[in-house]
Amino acid sequence: MTHDAVDALLEKEVQRLALTGYNAPRMRTLLLAVTDAARARKFLANLLDAQLLAFGARGTARGLDCGINIGFTHQGLRALGAPASVLVAFRDKSPAFAEGADVRAARHLGDAGESAAERWDAVFHHDRAHAWIAIHGNDAATLDEAVRRLRQLRGADGLAGWEPAAALPDGQQLRDDQDPRATRVHFGLRDGITRPSILDRQRLLGRPGPDGQAFRPRPGELLLGYPNNDGADLWTAGKTPDDVAHFLRHGSFGVLRKLEQHECRLQRYLDGKAAELRAAGHAFVTPTWLKAKMVGRWPNGAPVLPGETEEPPAPDAARLAQVDFEQDREGLGCPFGAHMRRANPRTDPLMPQRDRTLFRRGIPYGAVGDDEVGLFGLFFCARIDDQFEHLVSEWLEKNPMGPPNRGRAKDPLVGRHDEPQAQFLIPLPGGRQIALDGFEAFVRTRGTLYALFPSRRALETLAAGATLRNPTHAHAARPAHQPSTVPDAGPGPEPIDAPNDRFCDLVMEGGITSGVIYASAVVELARHYRFRSIGGSSIGAFAAALAAAAEYRRRHGSGDGFDRLAKLPQELAREEDGRTRLERVFVPQHSTRRLFGIFLATLERSGPVSQVVHGLAAALWQYRRLVAGLTIVLAAIVLAGPIQTALQCWSGPAAAPCLWPLVSWTAAALLALGTGAFAALVAGICWDVHRGLVRNGFGLCRGWDPEAPVDSPDLAAFLHYAIQAVAGRGLHDKPLTFRDLWDAPGAADKALGFEVHGTGARSINLEVYASNLAHGRPYRFPLDETEDMGRLFFRVEELENYFPRGLVQYLAALSNPYAARSEADPPADTVRPGFLELPVADLPIVVAARLAMSFPLLISAVPLYAVEHGARRMGRCWMSDGGLCSNFPIHLFDSFLPMWPTFGISLETRDENNREAVRLPAFHTSGRADTWDHGPETRPWQLAGFLGSLWRTTWRWNDSTMMRMPGVRDRVVRLYLTEGEGGVNIRMPPDRIRRLGTTYGTPAARAFIEKFQSVGWQEHRWVRLNCLLVSVRERIRNFGVAARMNRHAVPLLDQIEAAKTKAPLSKPGRRSRSLPSETPLEPGQAAELQALLAALCDLEQTFLQAGDSEPYRAVPRSSLRIRHPT
């Protein structure tokens, strides 16, 4: 391609803002939402026809003294109806662009705290920002005229957000007081010093320069479809179809980042530190010198040279751009952690090569003295993740690179300083240094947007609503004809990390094998959130324990636990001797092996008839010896008569009269033999149920064999091994306990700066459910130490039948023998020795997970003991599956108003009318419809279906009701499994296990991430607040009347007054110890009750005076009621 041809192509196809930018003093930014795709495409077509878009290095809007350019977010392209193959290409090649800036802000940009995406300006929310129109001109009047012209175009009404109230403030260049030709930012620093460009023919064509080396940057750093600095075309090479490649080529990604600059905060910091340093003997230190060291340049733009203590005269433009760190190897001029040395290391010999060219087009906003001032950062590149995000997350937000004396603070000027003690080091001659710490955040992110600025050709395709060829075969098409040396390998897996101040809670529904789903969901969520509270029942409890173990390991500096968790589906799918690891963890005892064989035979069958037939066949095979033996005996007895009769008939003169007796005897014999075989089968099954199932803890698989080695594939050993491995511990290491989780570093209260008490002080809070069949209620582990009726005990010799011996011995060493806590407890000397109390904090989490995971009849219940106060003795409690009482405890971590989201994952059965695999309600009104359970329609199975519906209603009514409630349904993702997926099907083939591990979990987590790292989290908190107000209003009504009631009652104020001299509550005579309110109140206690009672009465009046205009209507309406804490 000739030089002139390349120039002509760029002038025609590339939008000016991306190619060169503008020197105009003002900029207006419009972020618009597509409300009507057809009308919006019409607008785009008219925009092109009117020649209002600026292309090339010098383009302007026709008839206007300004430049107009347009870009689209991935959401905007989808809303506009972009070709499916193009959207697929972006998803595969640029996950950053496809996910959007708000989703990736915390993990990849360090935006947390006051810069968190949830606190961004509303116009940046992904569902409101589809199109980005940038207008550059000389004054506000010109910009106003440009907006007026745009709104007059046909189709403009297909876009929302034109109103001035929805617009961002205008960008406006700030002129330097000493040099009017120079511009500066609000921090008082010179701006626009370096602007890399690709407009060089040698660079454009990838040819070497005079010194034999290729010039940088090459066009592929800015434009899609060209080789980058590594010689690779990452966009249109490889298997990219021609039509997709043509759409992408000449486009560029634009990043809009609104940064509020706290100028006063920065100046206050500099003044304070300069005063401290001068008092410490550094007389040369001034605020200007400190600012220059933090930035790497003096305010006038001059590079800081070794030994300089005062700002030199401003150099010419050529000298400004000539910065060479080769002459500053010790950082005596520009420190290693300075902003300039981080953002553009140039030829720094001490840094590893970090060539990430960004094409900056920024401009300040706000006038001096305004309440809010800052900078619009406009950055253009060809790879958002590898260029923009990498620069921010790796160069600005991490420790500076270089020798050991570099310090460990983030970028001193624009970093998010969440470690006040981190130091920025300023080297001085002679090996001395100055350490700065106590940094505040001088910059706050108010919003970020990722957009594609398409080429003219791509814009024409969008405007026409054209569909590219073969959109579903994007990965099988032939390569595009464009120079390239390295094909795109696609993005690698993201590191499993998350900001240390972004938390979530997670609740997972119970089940058995369907828990394979949870591994990928937990891993994907972990990339964006840190887990504060995790809980569940049954298999959800085991998944919660694994998630807690992985989070524990991450809090200690390693994400390998989540990597290990991600491999769990593959591990469970691994086959040995034709059986998967999932099947091999269910090992029956000898006494239950025949019943287990019948159970296995019913799995992987197409329907009830097939299950019955195969189950009966398996039963006959399992009890074949018993059935055969009894049949032979009965045959000998029953057939003796017919045989004798037959012999007599055959030996007599007339056989005919004997025929009918022989036939009747034979029929009776066959009937007797069939009955006998059936009776033998029933007797054998009843024997195994009584002698095997019942004595095995009412389960086919106890989960452990005391004779097995510690690395046995049995269930308890697998649970223990998996939790220890994920936590980074070995089988013989100390088991991971609840106390370990509670004391892990990185607690939410420390990261967010608030005070907590009780369970809120736990760094990682794991809670799981088990069902106490003796008490008929759920138990939540860890047990509540304040609940004196919730103590549980165990016997070592019994627990060793359920857990590895070493684990039980560890547990026994930390457990106390039974002791009476109250007068209602039997004295210790009346209780048989050997009862040890189950610890609370020091309980290994694998024990809690196994107690919660005792699916009835399949996995044995675990025997524990509790004080039977009526009989004053120890009574046995069978601990069974937590899902019996609460299979989906979505309420587990609820508060009146959440500080972070609590996500729930629910497992549903997919019906014939639903093709969705994953569904998360998008709006606050979505998801309130009931789930239907029609049952079988065929007559033979209707009764069975009816009985099944009775059981499911009894079992799930609370969970089903909760999932319909506002403030709950919008944070529960439903995973719809097909027949044969999950359930009790422990014989799933390997490919199905792997499919479960990938098809459901990751999309479920991404649905949460996309919704709750944008406007969804604000909407959820809005719903929760209003639901709370509705419930409180309902319950507080007539509170004052009830408190003052004097008919057949004593007013509460009078009761409180009387309680100062007489105990308000009676005490049983046999008990010597007094509980609160069983003695007269102290004056402080009475005053507390009076104040709180008055506050509640005032609250009722506040609700009455505020009115009830229903700013939100909760359907169904929630209610505050007294409820047990479980």
Cα angle value 720/724/725 (rounded, 5°): 115
Distance set, CA 72 to CA 592, 599, 757, 972 (Å):
64, 57, 47, 31
Separation between Cα atoms, residue 480 and residue 349, nearest integer Å: 39
Q: Is 488 a catalytic residue?
A: no
Separation between Cα atoms, residue 753 and residue 750, nearest integer Å: 5
Distance set, CA 291 to CA 270, 286, 332, 720, 843 (Å):
7, 9, 15, 55, 53
Q: Which residue has the tokens 């959207």?
A: 87
Distance set, CA 604 to CA 649, 979, 1030 (Å):
53, 10, 49
Cis preceding linkage at 217, omega within 30: yes
Backbone angles phi and psi of 423, in degrees to 5: -110, 140
Backbone angles phi and psi of 655, in degrees to 5: -85, -25
H and E: helices and strands count for the chain: 40, 30
Helix (H, G, I), strand (E, B) or coil at 671: helix
**Interhelix angle for 1083-1106 vs 1015-1036, to 10°?**
110
- Are the C-beta atoms of residues 606 and 1033 closer than 8 Å to each other? no
CA dihedral 455, 461, 467, 468 (to 10 degrees): -40
- Are the C-beta atoms of residues 457 and 251 closer than 8 Å to each other? no
Separation between Cα atoms, residue 340 and residue 333, nearest integer Å: 12
CA 333 to mean position of chain CA atoms: 44
Q: Which residue has the tokens 């809009």?
A: 256
Separation between Cα atoms, residue 837 and residue 793, nearest integer Å: 4
Cα angle value 831/835/841 (rounded, 5°): 135
- Are the C-beta atoms of residues 758 and 849 closer than 8 Å to each other? no
- Are the C-beta atoms of residues 344 and 194 closer than 8 Å to each other? yes
Helix (H, G, I), strand (E, B) or coil at 537: strand
- Are the C-beta atoms of residues 752 and 500 closer than 8 Å to each other? no
B/e letters for 310-349, b = 16+ CB within 10 Å, e = fewer, are ebeebeeeeebeebebeebebbbbbbbbbbbbbbbbeebe
Three state DSSP letters for 421-463: CCCEEEECHHHCEEEECCCCCCEEEEEEEEEEECCHHHHHHHH
Q: Which of 538, 771, 860, 906 is catalytic?
A: 538
CA neighbor of 186 nearest in space, from 314, 26, 369, 344: 369
Q: Which of 176, 328, 501, 881 is catalytic?
A: 881
- Are the C-beta atoms of residues 73 and 451 closer than 8 Å to each other? yes
Cβ-count burial of 574 within 10 angstroms (0-12 exposed, 13-18 middle, 19+ buried)?
middle
Separation between Cα atoms, residue 43 and residue 35, nearest integer Å: 12
Cα angle value 385/389/392 (rounded, 5°): 160
Separation between Cα atoms, residue 571 and residue 725, nearest integer Å: 13
Helix (H, G, I), strand (E, B) or coil at 214: strand
Instruction: Quote the tokens at residue 158.
Output: 């297909």
Three state DSSP letters for 489-516: CCCCCCCCCCCCCCEEEEEECCCCHHHH
The Cβ of residue 661 has, within 10 Å, a number of other Cβ atoms equal to 14
Q: Is 733 a catalytic residue?
A: no
The distance in angstroms from the start CA to the end CA of the chain is 73
Residues with catalytic function: 538, 881
